[in-house]
Structure 1
Amino acid sequence: MFHDDDTGGDETGRLAALHRYDLFGSPPEPDFDKMTALGAELFEAPICAIVLVAEDHLWLKSHHGTDLTILAKAKSFCSEAIGDSAPLLVADATTDPRFAHSELVQLAGIRAYAGAPLTTADGHRIGTFCVLDTITRQFTPQHAAMLTRMAGIVVDLFERRYGDRVSEILAPFAQGAHMALITTDGAGRVSFWNVGAEEMFGYSRAEMTGQDMARIVPPRFRGSHPDGFARVAAGAESNLAGRPLELMALRSDGSEFPIELFLTIWRGPLGVGFGAQIQDISERRSREEQLEYRANHDPLTGLLNRTAFKACVSAHLRKNASAAVIVFDLDGFKTVNDDLGHATGDALLQALALRTLAFTRDGEVVARLGGDEFALLLADGSELGAIRERAKTLLELINRPFAVNGYQLKLAGSVGIAIAPLQARDTEALLIRADLALFKAKNDGGSRYRIFDTGMEKQLAATRVFQDELRHAFAKQQFELHFQPQVSLADGRLVGAEALLRWRHPTLGLLFPKAFLSILETHALAFQTGGWVLDEACRTLAQWRLAGLSGIRMGVNLFAAQLHAGMLVETVETTLARHGLAPADLELEITETIALRQDRRELDPLRTLHTRGVGIAFDDFGTGFASLSALKTFPLSRLKIDRSFVQDVVSDAHSQAIIKGVATIGRNLGINVIAEGIETRAQAEALREAGCDAGQGFLYGRGVPADAFLARYLDNPRSYAPALDEAEA
């Protein structure tokens, strides 16, 4: 909600700053429409708008992708966005109580919003530059920075527009230094030349009075100059008057620079006269060029980014049917970041970018797609043998040691290749197939290349079908939760339950996560599904409490998408409050692999929640690459030992030693240790003796629906079932 104290002044001052620009009800203007079109393109969003927040409504000065011009202020994104100097990023408005019932969400189907405030020089926030989407989006800090820069450019345009209007009124009297004001007679000879013109062009008034205006026009444009003056002087209408024109001009030292010219024409007793208001737009052009560069280039390596690379591929395919796309990455790059730090990892990527640029030939394009993934466009895809040789040479290039930050780093690479038109005829399909080939190369052990084949095509088709079914599963409420008990190994007492996701497929029956989780984790529905699991698990625990089952916590597995969204703290606290639960009632489980792949800033919400009392558990511990330093720095309250160590804990001395070591470390760090996959009493006893605090597995019960769990444990919280043969995901 808008607060006076948050906008650098009171509401009266803000509205005064807003109305100073006199924008309400004004017709479309090219400068602003270019900005919203550019914003939609840069953010790949269907809607972009410049929104002004009035006293009781919102007005869209410029809008791309929508016909709306006026919106209600209540519960709006933009009225909320101007309450803070930082951009407002909303990944899914339907789950955000501030906006879930707004007209844009309910009537227009808006799901995602990102907007930066339009802040005037005196600190008033008068509106926003924003993008909106009808699907959920994960906005990044880079998106926020870009929005802020574009909002600044919009305010500059407001100021320039305001200045232009003032100059128009004061033009007959102006001698201002920043604006060149020039008049000529019908033949184009200068009759007035102000101080601004002197400073802009380097000619004094005496030098220019009576001289041909063509003197400040670059030679290549002078041919049509006299004809234009003569035609208008003869009575013809000018199609240049009355609108701003961007042209090149010439200084006295011979240098060219861009100007914006506003031309007026009058007819008086002395014949036709011309007046020109001229502004040097070199700085503005520079900003626009920088903005365009940043929009198309990776800031770390200077290579083209994914968007620009796709545009290059599309342009090439429109002219040439034949091409090949190679995508490649580093095997083991994650280890460099973890062991040597992100500064060394960034330097390694820069070194790889330089090495790849030296590798490219004329007509080839190289880009960084994100992370350690790069892409190369080969202009000719007709010679399969030549493509194979290029891939082999690229692998050899990557395999050569890198000297980075005092380290000699030797890594391998994996390469995936897709060829047009053999395997795809459009850019998106070509990149998808190259990515699948890269995935195949890495699955085959890395340090090799793979070319997309029909087997991968079948995998792609099957994945797409499954993705569509997942979308229907969420919409038709086919997901459900089962709950598996967690018990104290000391006395068999029930201490918790883990919420397990199940999919009741209409034809395949009840599916366990191993059948669909790998696809769901990368699906656009991952964030929504994760939110539903959290809410449903907390609702179930609250119902159990009302029925009399108390003293247990609820474990909920997080998706990586929930970390990326940047709303985890707010979502968890809102969900707990909605169901009347305390932070200690909830334990969030995350696999060590997912945790260690995240940017450290993305893990800050887990640290915040841990500080506020929410439990944080590493699931499947021992199967990833977590180091002891990670246990020290990560906000953990529990380690979950993977079932692979539990299966032979009775007979294998190595498993016994590993489990005992983990339990000892956990105890010394104040971290609880729980073992998964317990099926026999002998395993439970061995784990208890090794120092584990708790356990779960078929010995105590498999995952069951909420009602069955309650019926079983309400009156006998120490009951457990015999081992079962069925293996659970």
Structure 2
Amino acid sequence: MSKVSAEMQCHKCEEYGEGSDRVKLHGSRRAALKVVKSDVLTDSAHQFSVLVDSVRDYAIYTLDVNGVITSWNVGAERIKGYSAAEIIGQHFSKFYTEDDCAAGLPMRCLNSAVVNGKHEAQGRRIRKDGTEFWADVVIQPIHEENGILSGFAKITRDITERRKSEERVHRLAHFDQLTGLPNRITSLARLQDMVNGGQAMSVIVADLVGLSPINDTFGRAAGDAMLNRAVARWVGAVSEQHWIGRLASDEFIVVLPGIIDGPELREICKKMISSLDAPVVGDGRQAYLAVNLGIAVHPVHGQSAAELLNNADLAVNQAKARGRNSYAIYKSAFRDLLESRLICETAIERALPDGEFELFYQPQVRLKDRRIIGAEGLLRWRHRERGLLTPDAFLDILEKSPHAHKVGSWVLREACMHAARVRQIGLSKYGVSVNLFDAQLRSGQLVDEVKCALADAKIPGSALHLEITENIILDHSDTIVPELHKLRELGVGLSFDDYGTGYASLSLLKRFPLSQLKIDRSFVQNLCGDQKDAAVVRAIAFLAREFQLQVVAEGIEKSGQHEQLHRLGCQLGQGFLYGKPVAGEELLRLYKDRLGRTSKSTKKIGFLN
């Protein structure tokens, strides 16, 4: 016997014994092993059954091959509401909704488990009390040793709270929390889907005007409530197949599928604008809001959502330039204008530190005797490439730039220094007026800046007059009143500029601490030949007299206009008749020259000392 055979025999002897008796013993052991194995399996099955029955977080149950329930654990009872006695023997399809049953979903799930070896899915299921819940389901087929299908094991987990949490996260990511509208991300994705589908449509960007001062004055709650009511009015102005999204705090998108131009588009724009005619109420407050609309049409004005939105933005900027409650349809010229603006904004950034801005001054006279009482400081830009520019060429861009506040502060200081220099040559009552930028009023620093400018120039507050346009007043009607009162306490004069051309109501004359109304040149040009212009001037002069305000008329070019304005009740005036705007140093020389001369011509226009 070989060594390997002997070792194997020895091993067998150790394991099974030797000889005929040992073989019998070996057979007995095999029988004993089978019994032990059977007992272990029985115990394991029992332990597994006990474990499954005790699980409360999962519904674990079995089905026969037809889907009839054959076992039921305590977790199934907790989640679905049925006891084992109530449910065993019934078909598992009773947990599915009527629509799912009608579509054959229960048996499709079982077939999927057989074909794929397992079926996993999420869906709505029904409890015993009829309420729905979200379920995460796993179905595992059970086969006999010979491979024949004998049933299914099914595990169901209630994921309702998880789904609610996911839905909340989804809403936070895709919808505006205040209005419930699609947010910017969702709006752009939805718009891009429509573009990809070749949908012809109009895209409107709606800019809500007047919300910021409401938030500042009445609080965020009132502002939010008014915003929601404004949106609700817009929803009523468009059809059900149209949709609205929120792009930013006061900017919205309105998409009109199937509408590309013409009367229908214009009618919708007019409806959206007129929907804000009545005051908007929120949190016990009410205020007037306005809107500007910019429109881009697919496919004419853009081949992507981003391009359409960008062009609609350009159009809404054009609408803003026309005033409140305006709309504009995109034109390629808008982009050229934007490029020009960007170039201008870049140049403005260097203009102030490089000393390119100047103040020119136009004399103001007392109409009854034509004596000069002061001058208005008018901004000029000595552009290095384009030469001397008047405000028409750059003021709109400057006012919207981040440099407006700095330029306005410079204008204020420069004008005060001019008044100081003129006073030093002997005109002790000489004053200067300048226009304020919106940015100066928003800064909250205006009163302190005026104090510093007056102190540095060593002139009294009465030597300074600040002019405010009606549109700025409307945008800050409540927030700036306290600051204006503080300015009046300093002796500084306050004027409504271009009065009669804007939207300021008569009530503003009562609420604001004004000292002067300034009549726009448009009413002066045809004053002598147009009775309506004369009536407007007469009415403004009457109001001013009743409110104890001075009236200044600008744009006076002819003696007849001077005489007529004086008869109608205007006290002050300015225009080419008395002098063109000139640089400060040049005007100072003219004043010195006139003060030193005694000819007849100097008596025609003298000085108020």
Residue among 463, 477, 481 paired with 2:341 = 463
Stretches of structure 2 lacking an aligned partner (at least 5 in a row): 1-53, 60-164, 282-286
Residue of structure 2 in register with 1:366 after alignment? 245
Q: Does structure 2 conserve the Cα–Cα contact (< 8 Å) formed by 1:314 and 1:426?
A: no
Structure 1 residues 626 and 363: CA distance shift in structure 2, 3 A? closer
Amino acid at match of 1:367: R
Shift of 1:667: 1.9
Secondary structure of residue in 2 paired with 1:716: helix
Residue of structure 2 in register with 1:434 after alignment? 312
Residue of structure 2 in register with 1:529 after alignment? 407
Secondary structure of residue in 1 paired with 2:479: helix
Residue of structure 1 in register with 2:143 after alignment? none
| Residue correspondence of structure 1 range 395-414 to structure 2 within 5 A | 395=269, 398=272
Amino acid at match of 1:398: M
Stretches of structure 1 lacking an aligned partner (at least 5 in a row): 1-214, 221-285, 724-729
Residue of structure 1 in register with 2:501 after alignment? 623
| Residue correspondence of structure 1 range 586-665 to structure 2 within 5 A | 586-665=464-543
Residue among 426, 431, 443 paired with 1:565 = 443
* 1:712 and 2:590 correspond: yes
Shift of 1:427: 8.3
Task: Name whichever of 582-591 and 539-548 sits farther off.
Answer: 539-548
Shift of 1:345: 9.5
Q: Does structure 2 conserve the Cα–Cα contact (< 8 Å) formed by 1:482 and 1:703?
A: yes
Task: Name whichever of 665-674 and 541-550 sits farther off.
Answer: 541-550
Structure 1 residues 662 and 711: CA distance shift in structure 2, 3 A? same
Secondary structure of residue in 1 paired with 2:448: helix
Q: Does structure 2 conserve the Cα–Cα contact (< 8 Å) formed by 1:303 and 1:368?
A: no
Secondary structure of residue in 1 paired with 2:581: coil
| Residue correspondence of structure 1 range 447-462 to structure 2 within 5 A | 450-462=328-340
Structure 1 residues 660 and 720: CA distance shift in structure 2, 3 A? farther
| Residue correspondence of structure 1 range 72-221 to structure 2 within 5 A | none
How many residue pairs were aligned? 425
Amino acid at match of 1:574: C
Shift of 1:421: 9.3
| Residue correspondence of structure 1 range 354-393 to structure 2 within 5 A | 354-356=232-234, 366-367=245-246, 369-370=248-249, 373-376=251-254
Q: Does structure 2 conserve the Cα–Cα contact (< 8 Å) formed by 1:313 and 1:377?
A: no
For each residue in 1:408-459, what CA deviation from the matched residue of structure 2 results, as whole angstroms up to 9, or x when unmatched? x999976423468985799887544213223556789999965423222222
CA–CA separation in structure 2 for the residues paired with 1:396 and 1:627: 23
Q: Which structure's CA Rg is the greater one?
A: 2
Shift of 1:532: 1.1
Q: Does structure 1 conserve the Cα–Cα contact (< 8 Å) formed by 2:470 and 2:504?
A: yes
CA–CA separation in structure 2 for the residues paired with 1:388 and 1:558: 41
Residue of structure 1 in register with 2:553 after alignment? 675
Secondary structure of residue in 1 paired with 2:582: coil
Amino acid at match of 2:272: I
Structure 1 residues 417 and 590: CA distance shift in structure 2, 3 A? same
Residue of structure 2 in register with 1:170 after alignment? none
CA–CA separation in structure 2 for the residues paired with 1:538 and 1:446: 34
Q: Which has the higher contact order (CA 8 A, sep 6+)?
A: 2
* 1:508 and 2:386 correspond: yes
Amino acid at match of 1:366: G
Shift of 1:709: 1.0
Residue of structure 2 in register with 1:499 after alignment? 377
Structure 1 residues 391 and 471: CA distance shift in structure 2, 3 A? same
CA–CA separation in structure 2 for the residues paired with 1:410 and 1:587: 30
Secondary structure of residue in 1 paired with 2:365: strand
Q: Does structure 1 conserve the Cα–Cα contact (< 8 Å) formed by 2:497 and 2:520?
A: yes
CA–CA separation in structure 2 for the residues paired with 1:421 and 1:683: 54
Residue of structure 1 in register with 2:352 after alignment? 474
Structure 1 residues 429 and 548: CA distance shift in structure 2, 3 A? farther
Q: Does structure 2 conserve the Cα–Cα contact (< 8 Å) formed by 1:641 and 1:675?
A: yes
Residue of structure 1 in register with 2:427 after alignment? 549
Shift of 1:638: 0.8
For each residue in 1:554-607, what CA deviation from the matched residue of structure 2 results, as whole angstroms up to 9, or x when unmatched? 101101111111211111112212222221111101112222232411343122
Residue of structure 1 in register with 2:42 after alignment? none
Structure 1 residues 344 and 678: CA distance shift in structure 2, 3 A? farther
Structure 1 residues 412 and 578: CA distance shift in structure 2, 3 A? closer
Residue of structure 1 in register with 2:24 after alignment? none
Amino acid at match of 1:679: E
For each residue in 1:655-675, what CA deviation from the matched residue of structure 2 results, as whole angstroms up to 9, or x when unmatched? 333323322221221111111
Structure 1 residues 661 and 326: CA distance shift in structure 2, 3 A? closer
CA–CA separation in structure 2 for the residues paired with 1:547 and 1:353: 60
Secondary structure of residue in 2 paired with 1:601: coil
Structure 1 residues 370 and 711: CA distance shift in structure 2, 3 A? same
Secondary structure of residue in 1 paired with 2:392: helix
Secondary structure of residue in 1 paired with 2:352: helix
Residue among 453, 457, 472 paired with 1:575 = 453
**Structure with a larger share of its residues in helix:** 2
Shift of 1:367: 1.4
CA–CA separation in structure 1 for the residues paired with 2:470 and 2:459: 27
Provide TM-score, normalisation by structure 2.
Answer: 0.58
Amino acid at match of 2:333: G
Structure 1 residues 606 and 302: CA distance shift in structure 2, 3 A? farther
Structure 1 residues 394 and 666: CA distance shift in structure 2, 3 A? closer
CA–CA separation in structure 2 for the residues paired with 1:578 and 1:403: 47
Q: Does structure 1 conserve the Cα–Cα contact (< 8 Å) formed by 2:594 and 2:602?
A: no
Q: Does structure 2 conserve the Cα–Cα contact (< 8 Å) formed by 1:471 and 1:525?
A: yes
Identity %: 38
CA–CA separation in structure 1 for the residues paired with 2:276 and 2:586: 59
For each residue in 1:330-364, what CA deviation from the matched residue of structure 2 results, as whole angstroms up to 9, or x when unmatched? 89x89xx9xxx999998664333235568698996
CA–CA separation in structure 2 for the residues paired with 1:405 and 1:619: 26
CA–CA separation in structure 2 for the residues paired with 1:669 and 1:699: 29
Structure 1 residues 298 and 438: CA distance shift in structure 2, 3 A? farther
Amino acid at match of 2:412: L
Structure 1 residues 219 and 450: CA distance shift in structure 2, 3 A? farther
Amino acid at match of 2:441: L
CA–CA separation in structure 2 for the residues paired with 1:669 and 1:377: 49
CA–CA separation in structure 1 for the residues paired with 2:565 and 2:413: 33
Shift of 1:377: 6.3
Aligned residues: CA RMSD: 4.8
Structure 1 residues 543 and 218: CA distance shift in structure 2, 3 A? farther
CA–CA separation in structure 2 for the residues paired with 1:476 and 1:515: 19
Shift of 1:654: 3.0
Residue of structure 2 in register with 1:694 after alignment? 572
Residue of structure 1 in register with 2:118 after alignment? none
Structure 1 residues 545 and 375: CA distance shift in structure 2, 3 A? same
CA–CA separation in structure 2 for the residues paired with 1:377 and 1:430: 11
Q: Does structure 2 conserve the Cα–Cα contact (< 8 Å) formed by 1:303 and 1:366?
A: yes
| Residue correspondence of structure 1 range 283-322 to structure 2 within 5 A | 309=184, 311-312=185-186, 322=196
| Residue correspondence of structure 1 range 48-67 to structure 2 within 5 A | none
CA–CA separation in structure 2 for the residues paired with 1:617 and 1:350: 36
CA–CA separation in structure 1 for the residues paired with 2:525 and 2:519: 11
For each residue in 1:58-83, what CA deviation from the matched residue of structure 2 results, as whole angstroms up to 9, or x when unmatched? xxxxxxxxxxxxxxxxxxxxxxxxxx
Q: Does structure 2 conserve the Cα–Cα contact (< 8 Å) formed by 1:617 and 1:636?
A: yes
Secondary structure of residue in 1 paired with 2:594: coil
Q: Does structure 2 conserve the Cα–Cα contact (< 8 Å) formed by 1:487 and 1:495?
A: yes
